């Protein structure tokens, strides 16, 4: 079957639900999981076998001479964020830049994550950037990891990013030098790069974290993180994950997030015994993934991808407009599709944002109930089915889709172990894990335990120190939260640019959001270079005003704090500081317009400019 994206009807959701009772159940389940240590519960080994395990297992680190040079821009990262920032620099005419990347190639998460079954869970026609410019057509609706990393390489080649790229290189410190109006960029390869501008393009999912399970270091079997898959141990390869070395092995997987649900069906198929150690059950919908219909491709008109991303954004976040048809038609857009059908039936009355949110909330309860009832239809063992049910609102955890996850629990070799009572896996011994007083021997432990998404910034970036003007530490400066103008620049940190979820617009297609940030940053850098501006930073007044603009969105943070179980989205219920905490409430379109107007005025409004550029010298 091929797929022609088209208008789809609202879904049928269960009608007979008790919303106040559900609300109470959600609250109870949240309280059950709350851990006061927040993100500190995770284990970050500094040395030893587990630390070594986080090195690159895919490509050897080749020796190279340290570099000492001056460049215009250091782009810190080679995932989609770094790639797109560099593409935007090229388009803006800036050529003296380098991507500096810890991995052995471009790709970011799509380089590191090679676990069996890896796919994007956003539709590839929206998620993969620059489809029209590269002429690439994804092979199916949800691309495999190999296809996505291949696309990263394709873009990097097309835009000439390999020439300047420094792979297997981790930036260790960034120091602003007022005397030369440049950043000293020091790396773990001994490089000393003096860059006029730096772009922080690390991406949100680049550093794995291990679960803080007591005894983890005592376990004598094999352990690896899902983002460092060891095919030598499991058999198979990234391209062909036939895990034939597991047929006599007992395997436990920690976690039931987006990663684990893709891995578990493969483990179930190949391993002798599989233990899925679940703390919080995720929501998992169906996942039809047909090949791309060539006839549909022929119908696409220039500008189709942007139009589709905008339609997806309305479907997943801001709400459909009268006359919209849902082009993506999947679980991400279901709530707004159903709300839109109700509004259309009433002739699209004018409603307040509060009414819209109330309609969404009501629909949310119904959709989540649909997910729960779906489990009863698939999983044969009633007790297991019950344990697999998610009790939270749709956006509290990343919504997932898989056709093979739930059926895997019907296999006799797959065991669901509910570790919620101990708020995580109780303990590891030399031989296995302990649950309710019993030791379960295992040969392999796979930690699908996530990434430093909302952790402290030094953990996320792996950079020991970032010193702006007057040796001010960025980590100290932002200790109580972000302070920026438009989410891209901060006072006291001249010529340093930020990307990601920092006080900006929030877009349903993450990669495109980062692309547009890259566009804005590249504009500022190219204009600064053209106009002989040696340093740009926001004025105190403009930055303070922007922080005030962000303030109302803390209501969203409160929702994540008070109604959702712990996860990286709410900083594991610790102090809510970073990531999605603050964004432009009027919506992404309005945010884009604001930046477009700002660029159009050409006046660097709200910025302090230091003119009198000194030319960049050649390497030496």
For residue 8, count other CB atoms closer than 10 A to its CB: 15
* Residue pair 474/457 in contact by the 8 Å Cβ criterion: yes
Q: Which of 195, 254, 506, 524 binds ligand NDP (CB under 6 A)?
A: 254
Among 277, 490, 521, 535, binds ligand NDP (CB under 6 A): 277
The CA-atom distances, in angstroms, between 501 and each of 51, 353, 394, 587, 609 are: 28, 23, 20, 14, 25
Question: How many positions of this chain bind ligand NDP (CB under 6 A)?
Answer: 30
Q: Which residues contact 172 (CB under 8 A, 6 or more apart)?
A: 186, 187, 188, 463, 464, 465
Question: 151, 165 in Cβ contact below 8 A?
Answer: no
How far, rounded to the nearest angstrom, does the alpha carbon of residue 379 sit from its chain's CA centroid?
30
Q: How far is the CB of 95 from ligand NDP (least distance, A)?
A: 33
- For ligand NDP, the closer of residues 89 and 416 by Cβ is 416
Q: Which of 198, 260, 267, 434 binds ligand NDP (CB under 6 A)?
A: 260
Q: Which residue of 405, 568, 578, 591 would you call a contact of ligand NDP, by CB under 6 A? A: 568
Told to check if 257 binds ligand NDP by CB under 6 A, we report yes
Q: Which is nearer to ligand NDP, 568 or 598 (CB)?
A: 568
Closest to ligand NDP by CB, 388 or 521:
388
Is 495 an interacting residue with respect to ligand NDP (CB under 6 A)? Answer: no
The interface region with ligand NDP, picked from 82-90, 276-284, 477-485, 539-547 by CB under 6 A, is 276-284
Q: Kindly tell me which of 213 and 525 has the beta carbon lying closer to ligand NDP.
A: 213
Q: Which of residues 443-482 bind ligand NDP (CB under 6 A)?
A: 448-451
Binders of ligand NDP among residues 333 to 352 (CB under 6 A) are: none
118 closest CA partner among 305, 326, 265, 275:
265
In 10 A of CB 572, how many CB atoms?
25
Residues 353-412 that bind ligand NDP (CB under 6 A): 398
**Shortest CB 542 distance to ligand NDP, Å:** 32
Using alpha carbons, list the distances in angstroms from residue 166 to 61, 65, 98, 162, 207. 11, 11, 7, 8, 18
* 195: its two tokens: 């860059």
What number of H helices and E strands is found in the chain? 21, 19
Q: Name the residue nearer to ligand NDP (CB basis): 201 or 445.
A: 445
Site string for ligand NDP, 521-560 (x = CB under 6 A): ----------------------------------------
Q: Among residues 33 and 98, whose Cβ is nearest to ligand NDP?
A: 33
Our finding on whether 259 is near ligand NDP (CB under 6 A) is yes
Q: How far apart are CA 224 and CA 229, in angstroms?
A: 7
Stretch that binds ligand NDP, among 78-86, 97-105, 190-198, 563-571 (CB under 6 A): 563-571
Asked if 425 touches ligand NDP (CB under 6 A), the answer is yes
Is 428 a binding residue for ligand NDP by CB under 6 A? The answer is: no
Of the ranges 159-167, 179-187, 277-285, 336-344, which one interacts with ligand NDP (CB under 6 A)?
277-285
Tell me the sheet residues that pair with 447. 225, 254
| Residue 184 CB contacts under 8 Å (≥ 6 apart), including other chains | 173, 174, 175, 176, 177, 192, 193, 194
Least CB distance to ligand NDP at residue 448 (A): 5
Question: CA-CA distance, 369 to 391, in Å (whole number)?
Answer: 9
The yes or no reply on residue 203 touching ligand NDP (CB under 6 A) is no
Nearer to ligand NDP, 260 or 536 (CB): 260
Does the protein bind ligand NDP through residue 279 (CB under 6 A)?
A: yes
Q: Is position 331 an interface residue for ligand NDP (rule: CB under 6 A)? A: no
Tell which positions 110-169 bind ligand NDP, by CB under 6 A. Answer: 119-122
Find the Cα–Cα–Cα–Cα dihedral 435, 436, 440, 443, rounded to 10°.
10
Cβ proximity to ligand NDP, 197 vs 568, nearer residue = 568
Nearer to ligand NDP (CB atom), residue 204 or residue 494: 204
Partners of 71 in the β-ladder: 195
Is residue 205 a contact point for ligand NDP (CB under 6 A)? Answer: yes
Q: Residue 523 is encoded by which pair of tokens?
A: 């504009």
Shortest distance, CB of residue 546 to ligand NDP, whole angstroms?
27
**CA 384 vs CA 279, 378, 390, 414, 596: distances in Å:** 14, 11, 12, 11, 52
Within 206-235, which residues bind ligand NDP (CB under 6 A)?
Answer: 211-213
Q: What angle do CA 451, 504, 160 make, to 5 degrees?
A: 70
From 202, 203, 424, 581, residue interacting with ligand NDP (rule: CB under 6 A): 424
d(CA 285, CA 400): 6
Q: Report the residue from 126, 414, 419, 525 that binds ligand NDP according to the rule CB under 6 A.
A: 419
Nearest distance from C-beta of residue 379 to ligand NDP, angstroms = 18
Residue 442 DSSP symbol: -
Scan for tokens 């090195």, then name that residue: 55
Of the candidates 234, 254, 227, the one whose C-alpha atom is nearest the C-alpha of residue 54 is 227
State the nearest-atom distance from the C-beta of 283 to ligand NDP, in Å.
11
Residue ranges binding ligand NDP (CB under 6 A):
33, 119-122, 205, 211-213, 254-260, 277, 279-280, 398, 419, 424-425, 448-451, 566-568
């Amino acid at each position: 079957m091929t797929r022609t994206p088209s208008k789809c009807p609202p879904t049928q959701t269960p009608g007979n639900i008790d919303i106040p009772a559900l609300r109470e159940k959600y609250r109870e389940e949240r309280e059950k999981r709350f851990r006061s240590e927040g993100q500190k519960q995770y284990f970050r080994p500094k040395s030893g076998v587990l630390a070594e395990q986080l090195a690159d297992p895919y490509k050897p680190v080749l020796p190279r001479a340290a570099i000492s040079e001056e460049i215009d821009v250091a782009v810190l990262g080679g995932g989609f964020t770094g790639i797109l920032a560099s593409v935007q620099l090229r388009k803006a005419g800036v050529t003296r830049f380098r991507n500096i990347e810890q991995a052995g190639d471009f790709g970011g998460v799509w380089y590191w994550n090679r676990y069996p079954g890896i796919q994007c869970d956003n539709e590839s026609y929206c998620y993969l950037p620059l489809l029209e410019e590269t002429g690439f057509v994804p092979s199916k609706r949800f691309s495999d990891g190999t296809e996505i990393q291949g696309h990263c390489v394709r873009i990097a080649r097309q835009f000439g990013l390999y020439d300047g790229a420094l792979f297997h290189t981790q930036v260790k410190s960034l120091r602003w030098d007022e005397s030369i109006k440049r950043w000293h960029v020091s790396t773990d390869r001994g490089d000393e790069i003096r860059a006029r501008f730096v772009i922080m393009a690390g991406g949100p999912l680049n550093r794995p974290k291990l679960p803080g399970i007591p005894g983890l270091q005592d376990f004598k079997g094999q352990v690896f993180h899902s983002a460092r898959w060891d095919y030598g141990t499991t058999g198979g390869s990234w391209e062909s994950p036939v895990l034939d070395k597991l047929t006599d092995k007992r395997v436990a997987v920690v976690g039931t997030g987006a990663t684990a649900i893709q891995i578990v069906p493969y483990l179930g198929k190949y391993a002798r015994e599989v233990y899925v150690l679940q703390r919080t059950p995720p929501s998992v919908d169906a996942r039809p993934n047909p090949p791309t219909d060539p006839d549909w491709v022929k119908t696409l008109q220039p500008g189709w991808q942007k139009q589709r991303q905008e339609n997806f954004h309305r479907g997943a976040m801001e709400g459909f407009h009268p006359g919209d048809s849902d082009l993506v038609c999947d679980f991400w857009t279901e709530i707004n599709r159903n709300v839109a059908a109700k509004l259309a039936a009433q002739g699209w009355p004018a409603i307040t944002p509060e009414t819209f949110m109330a309609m969404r909330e009501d629909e949310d309860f119904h959709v989540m109930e649909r997910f729960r009832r779906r489990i009863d239809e698939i999983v044969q063992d009633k007790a297991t089915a019950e344990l697999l049910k998610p009790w939270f609102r749709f956006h509290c955890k990343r919504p997932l889709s898989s056709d093979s996850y739930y059926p895997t629990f019907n296999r006799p070799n797959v065991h669901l172990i509910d570790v919620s009572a101990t708020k995580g896996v109780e303990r590891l011994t030399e031989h296995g894990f302990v649950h309710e007083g019993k030791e379960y021997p295992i040969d392999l432990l796979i930690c699908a335990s996530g990434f430093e998404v909302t952790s402290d910034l030094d953990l996320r970036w792996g950079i020991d120190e970032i010193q702006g003007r007057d040796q001010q530490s960025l980590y100290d400066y932002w200790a109580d939260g972000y302070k920026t103008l438009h989410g891209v620049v901060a006072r006291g940190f001249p010529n340093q640019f930020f990307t990601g979820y920092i006080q900006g617009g929030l877009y349903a297609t993450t990669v495109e959001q980062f692309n547009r940030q890259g566009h804005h940053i590249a504009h500022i850098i190219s204009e600064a270079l053209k106009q002989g501006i040696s340093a740009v930073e926001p004025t105190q007044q403009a930055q303070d005003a922007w922080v005030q603009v962000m303030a109302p969105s803390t209501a969203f943070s409160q929702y994540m704090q008070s109604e959702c179980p712990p996860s990286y989205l709410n900083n594991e219920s610790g102090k809510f500081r970073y990531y999605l905490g603050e964004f432009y409430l009027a919506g992404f379109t309005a945010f884009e317009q604001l930046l477009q107007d700002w660029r159009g005025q050409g006046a660097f409004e709200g910025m302090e400019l230091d003119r009198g550029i000194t030319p960049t010298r050649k390497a030496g």
